[in-house]
């Protein structure tokens, strides 16, 4: 065999193998994390899991009368939650941001000004997140990575912009409707009898709603009686190798 043909046949083989492996890894990485469903970009609404785990979350955009009480109830019940905070709330209540973090709860980003994110430019959208991110980092040293769009409003650009700066966009599949101020019994029944409640559910509450603190202790105990355990969103969601179905359910690959 001529040297040229030997080189071509054998010595180039490892290079082709390396290229093929690199191409496979690159392609696999690209498809291992996908928020795209039928051409739409979706946030995470819930998580597919065999474990009876659920996450309770609180949006903090206005008011602060009940935050310390909520923290006491969570501590009493050994529950870790996730608090999605606006920049304005962080600026107004820095000590409570520190208290939430000190108690071991997730700190989440709810934008700087609680605007409809789908109406903002790409740069404005990113700055809405980065502004809060820096404020919380300065207060606590914590690097946030969970984002809930205000009003649950999003489009493809909101999701891709959040993902581009390292955030997991989070929605919910169980709305307590505490913001409607229907009362404690309404909050408890709405959550515990919700048709979507199940393993991997994400529950939406608000720290500033009128009856949330009053309902919280009973709500937690009822959900525990149903066999559920509470974990913060940082422990519930998959960080990599997942895709979403048409309902926004996060499914491991």
SS3 112: coil
- From 50, 59, 105, 222, the catalytic residue: 59
- Whether 206 is a known active-site residue: answer yes
Catalytic residue among 28, 206, 226, 243: 206
CA angle 157, 141, 111 (to 5 degrees): 30
Q: Can you tell me the distance from the alpha carbon of 193 to that of 195, in angstroms, rounded to the nearest whole number? A: 6
- Is-catalytic flag, 59? yes
E runs forming strands in the chain: 33-34, 36-37, 40-41, 46-47, 53-60, 82-85, 106-109, 146-147, 168-169, 174-175, 202-206, 229-230, 242-244, 249-252
Cβ contacts of residue 169 below 8 Å, gap of 6+?
35, 43, 44, 147, 148, 149, 154, 158, 159, 162, 163
In total, the chain counts a number of residues equal to 253
Using left for φ > 0, alpha for ψ between -120 and 50, and beta otherwise, residue 63 falls in left
Distance from C-alpha of 201 to C-alpha of 48, rounded to nearest angstrom: 9
List the catalytic residues. 59, 206
């Amino acid at each position: 065999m001529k040297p040229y043909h030997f080189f071509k046949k054998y010595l180039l083989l490892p290079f082709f193998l390396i290229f093929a492996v690199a191409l496979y890894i690159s392609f696999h990485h690209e498809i291992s994390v996908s928020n795209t469903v039928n051409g739409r970009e979706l946030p995470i609404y819930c998580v597919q899991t065999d474990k009876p785990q659920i996450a309770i979350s609180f949006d903090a955009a206005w008011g602060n009368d009940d935050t310390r009480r909520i923290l006491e109830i969570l501590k009493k019940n050994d529950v870790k939650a996730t608090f999605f905070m606006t920049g304005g709330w962080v600026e107004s209540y820095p000590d409570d941001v520190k208290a939430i973090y000190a108690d071991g709860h997730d700190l989440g980003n709810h934008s700087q000004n609680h605007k409809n994110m789908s109406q903002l430019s790409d740069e404005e959208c990113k700055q809405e997140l980065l502004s809060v991110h820096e404020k919380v980092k300065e207060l606590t040293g914590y690097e946030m990575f969970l984002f809930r769009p205000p009003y649950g409003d999003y489009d493809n650009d909101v999701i891709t912009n959040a993902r581009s700066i390292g955030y997991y966009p989070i929605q919910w599949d169980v709305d307590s409707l505490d913001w409607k101020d229907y009362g404690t019994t309404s909050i408890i029944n709405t959550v515990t009898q919700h048709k979507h409640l199940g393993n991997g559910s994400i529950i939406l509450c608000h720290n500033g709603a009128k009856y949330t603190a009053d309902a919280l202790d009973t709500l937690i105990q009822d959900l525990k009686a149903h066999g559920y355990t509470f974990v913060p969103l940082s422990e519930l969601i998959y960080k990599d190798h997942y895709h979403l179905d048409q309902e926004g359910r996060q499914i491991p690959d």
